[in-house]
Amino acid sequence: MDKTLTEQEIALLRRKLDLLLRTGQLLVESAADTHRVVLNLNRVAAYLGLPEEKLHIDVSYTMLVVNVSDGLHSFSKFQKCEKHGINMTAISEISKLSWRAIENDYSLDQYEEELERIKNKKRNYVPYVVAIGAGFACGGFCKLFGGDWMAFLFTYICSFAGFRVRARCMEFGINHYMSIAIAALISTCLAYVSSFAGLSETPYHPLLACALFIVPGVPLINFVDDMIDNYIQVGIVRAVNTVLMVCAMAFGIVIAMRLLTVEDVVIDKKFSELSMVPHDSYLVYAIAAAIAAMGFSMIFNIQRRLLWVVAVGGIIAVCTRSVSCNLKGRPLHSPTCVSARIRGIRFCTILPRLMWRKGRESSMSGIRARTYPLPCSGKR
């Protein structure tokens, strides 16, 4: 029996592999963790009719590889992943697209059109609005650290300027890590200058929070997720990237401090006197937490309709921490305070799922029944 594939069948198979790779590329470049990338690619492969037992997917930080083979035929394609950022909306929409494609029996043209729409969709916030969000995020943390509202304002200005400087550096093609260092340098210099204004009772608190928009929180979480899920190689690369970002941030801050303060014993004394024990009312903490949470959500391109969910999650985390510390006198790093953050995170992850009207079955058994043996005769 002749099992040679025709040119039409080969072209169809290569198109399916191309769609699979383009889906994976968008996920990786939007800062999805490796487990989520693999899960979505397997679902899309099922929709495309690519047999799971004959499909091999390899995900790395800068490269995607897919191979489909049946012993007689083997086809492989590669896709580079270079433009890394954080786009939670894109990750969410791709997941929904994979389900819609299965439920509504999309053609390949329909799926490709939807994928291109997600790829080319403008971000939910224009660049200057994102910079405003970065300012509010850092300002909110300044207030949580014990600063007054004038310190909040100074932190907002410094963070806004630093965020825009980093964005412009990236536009000019400056190295990613050097852009981070320059942004940290500018933010810290402005924060130090603001301490001479004499308008704040906590003039040095902006120095603590002005560069927090650079902290690689999502890369750090993805690194931990990948290591736990046994994606060791990708996890190590993410860890190295996280360390480099932190080092670049620290380099910019240290250079600014050495250039401007040299041996400023006043600042050293003020930092040593800082206390993380709750000092404001719960209402003030709730407002600051909501502001900070929504600010970072704008940086991560979370949908506008979910901003209130993130704000409530931040309020739950911070207020639970404050209650725990007040009742038990525990420091910020105690297990009780850590659990408060976990409660907030769980709220932010569970509620959006409940808001999505269609409950999804996690089992892939019903989807696997849609796969086809090579040569693929599924979607065209």
> pLDDT tens-digit profile of 190-208?
998 998 888 988 888 899 8
Domain span at 272: 128-277
Q: Is residue 251 part of a domain?
A: yes
H/E segment holding residue 17 = helix 7-29
Same domain, 78 and 189: no
Same domain, 117 and 173: no
Amino acid 164: pLDDT: 96
Same domain, 47 and 175: no
If you average pLDDT over residues 352-356, what whole number do you get?
A: 47
Same domain, 114 and 204: no
Cis omega (within 30 of 0) for bond into 375: yes
Supply the pTM of this predicted model: 0.83
Please tell me the distance from the alpha carbon of residue 134 to that of residue 86, in angstroms, as a whole number. Answer: 14
Total structural domains within the chain: 2
Per-residue pLDDT band for 65 (boundaries 50, 70, 90) equals very high
The mean pLDDT value of the chain amounts to: 83
Q: Is residue 304 part of a domain?
A: no
Residue 299 has pLDDT above 50, yes or no: yes
Same domain, 89 and 56: yes
Q: Is residue 286 part of a domain?
A: no
H/E segment holding residue 265 = helix 265-273
Least confident range of 22-36, 125-139, 278-292, 301-315: 278-292
Same domain, 114 and 144: no
Please tell me the distance from the alpha carbon of residue 56 to that of residue 46, in angstroms, as a whole number. Answer: 13
Please tell me the distance from the alpha carbon of residue 270 to that of residue 205, in angstroms, as a whole number. Answer: 9
Residue 31 has pLDDT above 90, yes or no: yes
Same domain, 81 and 154: no
Q: Is residue 186 part of a domain?
A: yes
Residue 95 has pLDDT above 80, yes or no: yes
Angle at 218 between CA 214 and CA 219, to 5 degrees: 85
Q: Is residue 297 part of a domain?
A: no
Amino acid 168: pLDDT: 95
Highest mean pLDDT among 56-60, 263-267, 331-335: 56-60
Same domain, 200 and 136: yes
